[in-house]
Amino acid sequence: MRYYGKVLGAILGFALMRHPIGILIGGLLGHAFDAGWLSKPKPRSQVDDAYAVLGVAPDASDEAIDRAYRQQMSKYHPDKVAGAADEIRALAEERARALNAAYDRIRDLRRKLGE
């Protein structure tokens, strides 16, 4: 558990206010700092999004990633809906593009880590 923000806040609060209330206010601000309430939320990385698109965990094996990619592409390949309405074909093409991009991103990352 992180505590240094609380301690530093309490010390600075007392030093600046010269009153016991300063300890409380500084400790509360330190707690907010320690808890991460004052920091920006971290954006999800593109790699995390790629794993989510394929529906696999980041620690999945290469075989599981290949299997998930093939299963998703067999569902959403644009050739499967060639005779459907334009909107459905467009959705299938969009999903296939997202799957291909996610698979390529994961393969590139794993190739770099494997070197």
The residue ranges of every structural domain in the chain are: 4-35, 46-114
Predicted local confidence at residue 114, as pLDDT = 73
pLDDT tens digits along 38-57: 777 655 566 678 888 889 99
Predicted local confidence at residue 44, as pLDDT = 58
Predicted local confidence at residue 14, as pLDDT = 76
76 Cβ contact partners less than 8 Å away, ≥ 6 residues apart:
92, 95, 96, 99
Indicate if the pLDDT at residue 71 is higher than 70.
Answer: yes
Q: DSSP letter string over 22-68? A: HHHHHHHHHHHHHHTTTSPPPPPPHHHHHHHHHT--TT--HHHHHHH
Cα Rg of the chain (Å, integer): 25
Indicate if the pLDDT at residue 104 is higher than 90.
Answer: yes
pLDDT tens digits along 4-14: 677 777 777 77
Predicted local confidence at residue 45, as pLDDT = 67
CATH 2.60.260.20 fits 46-114, yes or no: no
Give the whole-angstrom CA distance, residue 29 versus residue 16.
14
Indicate if the pLDDT at residue 93 is higher than 80.
Answer: yes
